[in-house]
Structure 1
Amino acid sequence: MATKTELSPTARQSKNAQDMQVDEALIPRKVPSLCSARYGIALVLHFCNFTMIAQNVIMNITMVAMVNSTSPQSQLNDSSEGLPVDSFGGLSKAPKSLPAKSSILGGQFAIWEKWSPPHERSRLCSIALSGMLLGCFTAILTGGFISETLGWPFVFYIFGGVGCVCCLLWFVVIYDDPVSYPWISTSEKEYIISSLKQQVRSSKQPLPIKAMLRSLPIWSICLACFSHQWLVSTMVVYIPTYISSVYHVNIRDNGLLSALPFIVAWGIGMVGGYLADFLLTKKFRLITVRKIATILGSLPSSALIVSLPYLNSSYITATALLTLSCGLSTLCQSGIYINVLDIAPRYSSFLMGASRGFSSIAPVIVPTVSGFLLSQDPEFGWRNVFFLLFAVNLLGLIFYLIFGEADVQDWAKERKLTRL
C-alpha cells in the first residue's frame, strides 16, 4: 500500500527555505556567461524564432505579388504599392500559423526547463523570444525591396536558406540537457544542475488536467496573455490605420517607419530580461519581478495608445508613441510569458502552448469588435477602440496581480511515495 507523505503549510515553507539555502550553497559562484553553452543555445533559439516569424511575415508581404501575376517579374509595377500594406499588418494574419507557433514555443520551453537557472531565466528566454521581433523588423524592411529588385521567389530563397542554416544549427547545437551536451564546461554543467535541483523530473507522470483547470495562477497567466495579445493586435492592425485616417499619412508605405517599432521592441525586450534578473540578485521576490515586468509591459503601453486621440500635434508624435508603446510591451516577455516555467517547470511546454493558444483568441476577436465600434460611432469610434483596449488590458493585469504566483505548484511537484 502506498500513501503520499504530506507536510503542513508551515513545515513545507520551512523545508523549502532550507532546500533553497542548501541549493544556493551548492551553486558555483563564478560561472562564465560569455561563450557559454546556455547562452549559445539562447542565440540559436533567437535565430530560429527570427526565421519562424520572418517567413510568416514575408508570406503576407509577397501575397499580392503572387496572386496578381503568373510571372515573377511582371507584377512589380502593379503590386509594388500594395506590398507595404501587408508589411506592417502582416502579423494580423498570424492566426493561420498559430498551431505551428504554439508547438515551436512549447518546444523551446521544454528546453529551458532543463537549461535555464532560475536567476538567469528572464534574460535567456528574452534573448530567445526577441528573435521574433528581429524577424519582423528584417522581413518588413527587406521583403518588399527584394521582391521589387529580384522578384518575389528570391524572398523565399533567401529566408528559406536562412531557415535551413538555423535547422542545421538546431540539430548540431541543441541537446536535451546539460548532462548530454558535449561542449559544456564542468563548472557550467554543475551550475545548471545544482540550480535546478528542486525541479526534480526523474519519473514520468500524467498531466494533472483537473488540477490545471482549477489553478488560479494558470488562469491568471492565460487571461493576462489574452489581454496583452489584445493590446499587441490593436497596435499592429489598427494604429497604422488610425495615423493614416487622422493625419493622412500612410506609414505603411514607409518600410522604415513600419519596421521601427519592432527593432525598438527587440532592444527593450532583451534589456528587460537582464533587468528582471538584476532585480532577483537584489533579493526581490520572483513573483514581484514577474509582476513588475508585466505591469511595465502592459499599463504604459495601453496608456500611451489611449492618449493618441488627445494629441493632435503631428503624425511624428503619434508614430513615436506607437514605437514606444510597442517597445515597452515586450517587457512582458520577462513576466507572464515565462511564468509557467516558475510554477510548473515539468509541464511548462504544455502550459506554454495552452496559454498561447488561449491568447490567440484575441487576434481573432479584435478586428471584429474594433470594426463594429468604428462603424457605429465614426466621431468617437477610435476613442472607444482604445478605451476598450485599456479596459481589457487592465482587467487581465489586475487578475494576474491578484492570483499570479511564482512558486512551484503542489500538483507540479514530483509525487514521493513511501511504502508501509
Structure 2
Amino acid sequence: MERYGSDTERDDTPLLQRAEEERVQRGKTKISPVPACGSSRYGLALLSSFGFFVVYSLRVNLSVAMVDMLNNTQSDTNHSSSVCPAHANPPRPKHNHTASVYNWDSETQGWILGSFFYGYILTQILGGYLAGRWGPKWLMGLGILGTVFFTLLTPVAADLGAKYLIAVRVLEGIGEGVTFPAMYTMWAAWAPPLERSRLLTISYIGAQLGTVVSLPLSGQICFYLDWTYVFYIFGAIGLVWFVLWTCLAFDSPNTHPRISEQERLYITNSLKNELSTSAGYIPWRAILTSGPLWAIVVAHFSYNWTFYTLLTLLPTYMKEVLGFSIQQNGMLSALPYIGCVVLAVLSGQLADHLRETWLVRTVTVRKVFSIVGMLGPAVFLVAAGYTGCDYTLAVTFLTLSSALGGVSASGFNINHLDIAPSYAGILLGITNTFATIPGMVGPVIARTLTQQNTIEEWQTVFYIAAGINLFGATVYTLFGRGGVQPWAVHTSYNHGD
C-alpha cells in the first residue's frame, strides 16, 4: 500500500514558502516572474490552444454533419418526426441537396459516432512515452496532420459505406490520441508551478472553442453548401495550424531560439526541484500502483462520460426531441460550450490566485474545483430531462451543465502535473486511455436506449451520466493528492541535465 506521508507534508507547506526555502538552500538568487505579455510561454499557450481548436473541430463536426447525412425526407420540411412541435424553418438553398445521403439506422449511427474513440484509445499511453522519448513538438504536429488528412477523406469514405467511414474515423482517432499526452509533456518543461492553472486553461480552452465554433459553423455550412464542405473547410484550417506549429513551437525553453534569458531562467529554475533527473528512466510499477493517479483515472472517466454524451449526441437530441432545424441545431448545440469556455478561463485564474495569494493547498483547490465541475453538470443534466418541450429551459439547463464542467479544468484535469510533472505525459496517457472508453461505448449505449427518441428514454441516458459523475467526484475527493509523489523525483539513474 502506498504511503502518503511525504505528500501530505508538502501539501501543508505553501508553494511560495516552499519554493523560497529551496532557493535559499541552494544559494540561488530569486528569479522574478516574467510578465505574461509577449512571453514565449504564453505564446505557446495560444498556439497550442489553436491546435486543440483544430483537434476538437475535427472531432465534433461529424455530430452535426450526421444530421444532414441521413436520408430523412421529413427533416427538411417540418420536422414532424420530432417529439416537440417543430420550429419555423427557412427554405434551404437548392444546391445543398447535391451531397449523398445514407440509410443508417440508430445502431449504425452510434457506431459511427463512437468509432473515433476506438483509435483514440490506442495511442494515449504510447503518445506519452514517445513524447518523453523523442520530444512532444513533432509528435503533436504529425498527430494532428494525420487527423487532418483522414478528415479530408471522410466524404469519400462515407460514399463507400459505413464500414469505410468507421475505419477512417478510427484512423483519425489514432492521430489525435497522441496530442494531449504530447502537450502535457511539453507543459512539464514550460509551465512554472504557480502558473499551471492559467497556462493549461488557456491551452485547453481551445478544445472548447473548437466545439463552440465548429457546431454552429458546421450547421451553417450544411445549410448553405452541403455536409461534405464541413470536412474540407476544417481540414484546411488544420493545415494552416500545422505550418504555424512547425515554425513557432519548441520542445522546451532551452531549445527556443527567441526566448529571453530572463524568462528561460524563470521557467527552468521554478521547475528545477520538481523534475526528475533520470532521463530515460520511467518508474512504471510506482506509476501503476499510485493511489493519487487512480483517483484521477476515476474522475477523468466519470467526467468524460457526461462530456462525450453531450458532445456526440446533443445535435441529435436537439433535432429528434426538441425539433430544431440543422441551421438552428448547430448554434444551439454550441451554447453549452460557450459557457464552458468562460468558466474554464475564470476558474484557471481563480485557482492560481488561491494558491499563490491566499496560500490555499493545491490538493484543496483541485478537489473543490473538481466537485463543482462534476456535481454541477450532473444536477443540471438530469434537470434538462424534465423540461419537456420548454425549449428555453432545456437549452438553459444543458448550457449550465456543460458550463459548470469547465470548472474541472483547474481540478483533476491538470492534477497530473502536480503529482508527477516529469511523467505528466505518460500519466495523462494512462488516464485518457480510461477516459476514452465513455466515448467508445457512450454513444452506442445512448442510441440503443433512445430507439424511439422519447423524452423518457433520454431521461435514462441523462440519469446514467449523472450517476457516473457523482461516483467519480466522490472517489477523487477521497483519494486525490496535490503534491509531487516520491517516485516522481527519482534520482538514482542520473544522466545529467
TM norm structure 2: 0.71
Q: Are the structure 2 counterparts of residues 364 and 326 from structure 1 closer, same or farther at C-alpha, using a change threshold of 3 Å?
A: same
Among candidates 48, 72, 84, match of residue 45 of structure 1: 48
**1:217 is the counterpart of 2:292:** yes
Is residue 249–residue 315 contact of structure 1 (8 Å, CA) maintained in 2? Answer: no
Superposition pairs for residues 189-268 of structure 1, below 5 Å?
A: 189-238=264-313, 248-250=322-324, 253-254=327-328, 255-268=330-343
1:314 shift after superposition: 1.4
**1:401 is the counterpart of 2:477:** yes
Deviations 1:310-332 (A, max 9, x none): 44571111101101111111221
Among candidates 378, 394, 398, match of residue 322 of structure 1: 398
Deviating more after overlay: 58-67 vs 294-303: 58-67
Aligned-pair identity (%)? 33
Is residue 57–residue 91 contact of structure 1 (8 Å, CA) maintained in 2? Answer: no
Deviations 1:63-115 (A, max 9, x none): 687899xxxx9972266999xxx9xx997564234433330111101110010
Is residue 113–residue 346 contact of structure 1 (8 Å, CA) maintained in 2? Answer: yes
CA distance in 2, matches of 1:361, 1:234: 12
Aligned twin of 2:440 = 364
Superposition pairs for residues 23-62 of structure 1, below 5 Å?
A: 23=22, 26-59=29-62, 61-62=64-65
CA distance in 2, matches of 1:297, 1:59: 26
Q: Are the structure 2 counterparts of residues 367 and 55 from structure 1 closer, same or farther at C-alpha, using a change threshold of 3 Å?
A: closer
Aligned twin of 1:107 = 182
CA distance in 2, matches of 1:308, 1:11: 41
Superposition pairs for residues 49-198 of structure 1, below 5 Å?
A: 49-59=52-62, 61-62=64-65, 76-77=96-97, 94-95=116-117, 96=170, 97-149=172-224, 154-198=229-273
Aligned twin of 2:363 = 287
Deviating more after overlay: 376-385 vs 290-299: 376-385
CA distance in 1, matches of 2:331, 2:445: 29
Superposition pairs for residues 10-25 of structure 1, below 5 Å?
A: 13=9, 20-23=19-22
Is residue 27–residue 190 contact of structure 1 (8 Å, CA) maintained in 2? Answer: no
Is residue 80–residue 144 contact of structure 1 (8 Å, CA) maintained in 2? Answer: no
1:244 shift after superposition: 5.5
Q: Are the structure 2 counterparts of residues 244 and 173 from structure 1 closer, same or farther at C-alpha, using a change threshold of 3 Å?
A: closer
1:137 shift after superposition: 2.0
Q: Are the structure 2 counterparts of residues 142 and 310 from structure 1 closer, same or farther at C-alpha, using a change threshold of 3 Å?
A: closer
Q: Are the structure 2 counterparts of residues 24 and 129 from structure 1 closer, same or farther at C-alpha, using a change threshold of 3 Å?
A: farther
Specify the code of the residue in structure 2 equivalent to 1:49: F
Aligned twin of 2:464 = 388
1:370 shift after superposition: 3.9
Deviations 1:172-199 (A, max 9, x none): 2211211222222222222211211212
Alignment: residue pair count: 401
Q: Are the structure 2 counterparts of residues 79 and 10 from structure 1 closer, same or farther at C-alpha, using a change threshold of 3 Å?
A: closer
Specify the code of the residue in structure 2 equivalent to 1:295: I
Gaps of 5+ in 1: 1-7
1:308 shift after superposition: 2.6
Specify the code of the residue in structure 2 equivalent to 1:249: G
CA distance in 2, matches of 1:147, 1:238: 17
Aligned-pair Cα RMSD in Å: 3.6
CA distance in 1, matches of 2:469, 2:313: 16
Specify the code of the residue in structure 1 equivalent to 2:46: L
Gaps of 5+ in 2: 72-92, 118-169
Q: Are the structure 2 counterparts of residues 393 and 154 from structure 1 closer, same or farther at C-alpha, using a change threshold of 3 Å?
A: closer
Q: Are the structure 2 counterparts of residues 393 and 62 from structure 1 closer, same or farther at C-alpha, using a change threshold of 3 Å?
A: closer
Specify the code of the residue in structure 1 equivalent to 2:21: V
Is residue 27–residue 195 contact of structure 1 (8 Å, CA) maintained in 2? Answer: no
CA distance in 1, matches of 2:67, 2:95: 9
Q: Are the structure 2 counterparts of residues 67 and 240 from structure 1 closer, same or farther at C-alpha, using a change threshold of 3 Å?
A: closer
Deviations 1:247-306 (A, max 9, x none): x43365513112222222222222221121111121111111111221111111111112
Specify the code of the residue in structure 2 equivalent to 1:121: R
